Amino acid sequence: MQSKDYINIEDSYGAHNYLPLDVVISKADGVWVEDVDGKKYMDFLSAYSAVNQGHCHPRIYKAMAEQAKKLTLTSRAFRNDQLGNFCKQVTELCEMDMMLPMNSGAEAVETAIKTARKWGYKIKGVPKDKAEIIVCSNNFHGRTTTIVGFATEDQYRDGFGPFAPGFVIIPYGDYDALKAAVNENTVAFMVEPIQGEGGIIIPSKGYLQKARKLCTDNNVLLIADEIQSGLGRTGKLFAYQHEENAKPDMLIIGKALSGGFYPVSAVVSSKEVLGVFNPGDHGSTFGGNPLACAIASESLNVIVEEKLPQRSAELGAYMMELLHTINSKHVKEYRGIGLFIGIELKPEAGGARRFCEALQGDGLLCKETHEHVIRLAPPLIISRKDIDWAFSRIKKVLETL
Ligand SMILES: *Cc1c(COP(=O)(O)O)cnc(C)c1O
């Protein structure tokens, strides 16, 4: 079979809920992927930051293969020998007390919502069914019906209503709007410290710190969705750490938590907050399964031992320096933090998609986010030499297209 045959069969039998670049990848190693025709590309998306450790990291592969031979799934009806140590590792790394494991990011966000509401009713004393959660415009928290109900992107919502009540949407990065939205029934403010899908939007300095203080003063939980921004992507282990005194009450992680091998997500928080759950309140057949725990545990070891946050900080700064030497009539702005960079094109550039297609032709895989932003987010194991290679392609496309 050739590329076009794989594409035809997928388009015939698979629902068209994505519009992928037409590259059919069949293997990968580190920052490189290879298509069915043997053509190599450098990956500058990292599966939306799920492969921060690079594709098929040998250590994570080994942990996965060894665990898969022994035990994969018990369900939580029984205990397994991997879960406890994994919970301990995650909570220590996050400097929290407890965690609740799930699978996809959206499930972890749902779990955070349920946790915050339960905390609101049981601990804060909010009247039954009155809990409010404040979220931001331009957010991306996943695709379940509850979550898309508070999205502000029309396409995420169109045709999927009716939606769950209990969410208040305020503009992202607007502290005064947050202050005005908080009331006695507010149980949480859920926010991405940096909006990834939203176009690599970085709020102004002090925003999160001020939000933290407001939440503390009003007995509101601060929930940071770090599914994409966390685990090294922005040059710190977590994006909230770019500010002093901005530690959330609940941290939602996923994506790179498994290095791309398997869906693993978690909500990490304090005893007071996650302590609201009693047996039977919440669950997941696959959540916390021993295979997931073994994979995620080694994925975290790789992030720490290979110093991926530090690499991201250094190489992100280097990449940004290079980008600013480009002389392109199409670029409105380069913005980024660590290796989490958005190139915002001017509206008259005709959309980011055609630039991504041109880069694909030159062997670099990037994905547009929203209409006008090219996101640059390579695996964090990338070398300086690889960045130079990618940069020459980006420069060429931005200057000549
Ligand atoms: C990807 C993402 C999610 C959803 O994760 P899935 O695994 O796709 O369900 C939620 N929040 C943020 C910030 C994300 O980037």
- Which pLDDT tens digit goes with each residue over 80-97? 999 999 999 999 999 999
Whose alpha carbon is nearest atom 15 of ligand 1? 228
User: What pLDDT score does 26 carry?
Assistant: 98
Q: What is the mean pLDDT of residues 53-66?
A: 98
Integer Cα distance of 45 and 374 in angstroms: 10
Mean pLDDT over the full length of the chain: 97
For residue 225, the ligand 1 atom closest to its alpha carbon is 13
The pLDDT of residue 369 is 87
Q: What percentage of the chain exceeds 90 in pLDDT?
A: 99
**How far is CA 19 from each of CA 24, 355, 367, 368, 371, rounded to the nearest angstrom?**
13, 15, 11, 11, 13
Domain ranges of the chain: 81-305
pLDDT score at 98 = 98
Is the torsion defined by CA of 365, 366, 368, 369 positive or negative?
Answer: positive
Catalytic-residue membership of 37: no
- 255-287: b (≥16 Cβ within 10 Å) or e: bbbbbbbbbbbbbbbeeebbebbeeeebebebb
Tell me if 199 CB under 6 Å of ligand 1. Answer: no
Asked about 225 being catalytic, the answer comes back as: yes
pLDDT for res 276: 98
Whole-model pTM over 0.95: yes
Beta bridge partners of 268: 99, 251
Nearest to 303 by CA among 89, 44, 81, 85: 89
Ligand 1 in reach of 142 Cβ (< 6 A):
yes
For the cut 90, the answer to whether the pLDDT of residue 242 exceeds it is yes
* The one catalytic residue among 255, 286, 340, 355: 255
Atom of ligand 1 nearest to the CA of 192: 13
109 Cβ inside 6 Å of ligand 1:
yes
Report DSSP letters for 208-236, one per residue.
HHHHHHHHHHTT-EEEEE-TTTTTTTTSS
Strand 132-136 relative to strand 186-191: parallel, antiparallel, unpaired? parallel
Please count the residues of the chain.
401
User: How far, in Å, is the centroid of ligand 1 from the Cα of 126?
Assistant: 29
Torsion angles phi and psi, residue 98, rounded to 5 = -150, 160
Q: Cα(228)–Cα(226) distance, rounded to whole angstroms?
A: 5
Whether residue 198 has its Cβ less than 6 Å from ligand 1: no
Alpha helices in 133-206 (DSSP H): 145-149, 154-157, 175-181
Q: Give the per-residue pLDDT at 65.
A: 98
pLDDT-derived band of residue 104, with 50, 70 and 90 as boundaries?
very high
Choose, from 118, 189, 225, 249, the residue flagged as catalytic.
225
What local confidence, expressed as pLDDT, does residue 6 receive? 97
Distance (angstroms) between ligand 1 centre and the Cα of 215 equals 24
pLDDT at position 392 is 98
Indicate whether 358 pLDDT > 90.
yes
Q: Assess whether the C-beta atom of 262 lies below 6 angstroms from ligand 1.
A: no
Asked if the model's pLDDT at residue 370 lies above 90, the reply is no
**Residue 233, ligand 1, Cβ within 6 A:** no
C-beta atoms surrounding 11 within 10 Å:
10
Token digits of residue 389: 């290679």
Cα 269 to middle of ligand 1, angstroms = 18
Domain topology for 81-305: Aspartate Aminotransferase; domain 2 (3.40.640)
Catalytic site includes residue 205: no
Q: Give the C-alpha separation, 323 to 342, whole Å.
A: 11
Identify the band that residue 63 occupies on the pLDDT scale cut at 50, 70 and 90: very high
What average pLDDT score do residues 2-29 get?
A: 96
CB 207 within 8 A of CB 342: no
Interatomic CA distance for residues 293 and 298, integer angstroms: 9
- Most ligand 1 atoms within 8 A of CB, residue of 49, 103, 141 to mutate: 141
140 lines ligand 1 (CB under 6 A): yes
Residue 191 CB–ligand 1 contact under 6 Å: no
Contact 340/377 with Cβ under 8 angstroms?
yes
Q: 335 pairs with which residues across the strands? A: 342
The residues with which 224 forms a beta bridge, in sequence order, are 191, 251
Per-residue pLDDT at 59: 98
254 lines ligand 1 (CB under 6 A): yes
Whole-Å CA distances, 274 to 84, 221, 278, 279: 16, 12, 10, 12
Query: Distance from the CA of 151 to the center of ligand 1, in angstroms?
Result: 13
